[in-house]
Structure 1
Amino acid sequence: MEKSLPELGLKKEDCMELSWVELIVYFDGGFMARDLLKLETLLDRNYSKSFWKMRADFVMKPILVKGLEGMYDFFQEQGGKNLQVVAFPYSGKMAKIPESAISFPHRAGNIYH
């Protein structure tokens, strides 16, 4: 991140690499504190449930900052108080994995999700 997007000021310790199941725990509240990011949470029947809605799109062209600002303005006008926008990068390493290696053929040309 320091090399490709230095303007973000991110360091390695600011980032996490998660499996898809760890991501579920993360979005269900684990993002509040890294120590909550435990897969055992999924086995806890007494875990306080939270509900959220997620929309996913595959992006093939970069979204301009002006477009992101407009999107945030739109959601604020609609009452979006807890809005989160997350981009899962699919180019780079994913683009180098052959389509026959994993069941994920729709990734061609997508830069993030």
Structure 2
Amino acid sequence: MKIFDGIISDRGSKYAVSGGPCSSADEAKALIKNLCKQKKFAKATHNSWAFVGREGPVKNDDGESGAGMVIVRMLERETLHNHIVVVTRWYGGKHLGGDRFRHVQDAVRHYLDNAF
């Protein structure tokens, strides 16, 4: 997995984005488990992820409601299939409201622009 750490910071919350090839829900869970072997990612508040496979999109918000769907839409728009993108957030103590969706989009855009 490629990891881009510390790409966004807002009101104490910090974001990272990572990703790699993935073709099934089981493979996605294994990749998340592997990512969380790094103590920093295991302590994250949210590891929201998604990928678009043969049977359609698979996503997990991990408590960050709507984040998975934001990732799915961006992957579909880019026609990037069988590739997982994970947006990680460490909560900084202040609610971000709708800005959190912009940050998820910005994180995914950073990944798409720099991972390939």
Q: TM-score, normalised by structure 1?
A: 0.29
Q: TM-score, normalised by structure 2?
A: 0.28
Higher RCO (C-alpha under 8 Å, 6+ residues apart): 2
Instruction: Determine which structure has the larger strand proportion and give its number.
Output: 2
Q: Which has the larger radius of gyration?
A: 1
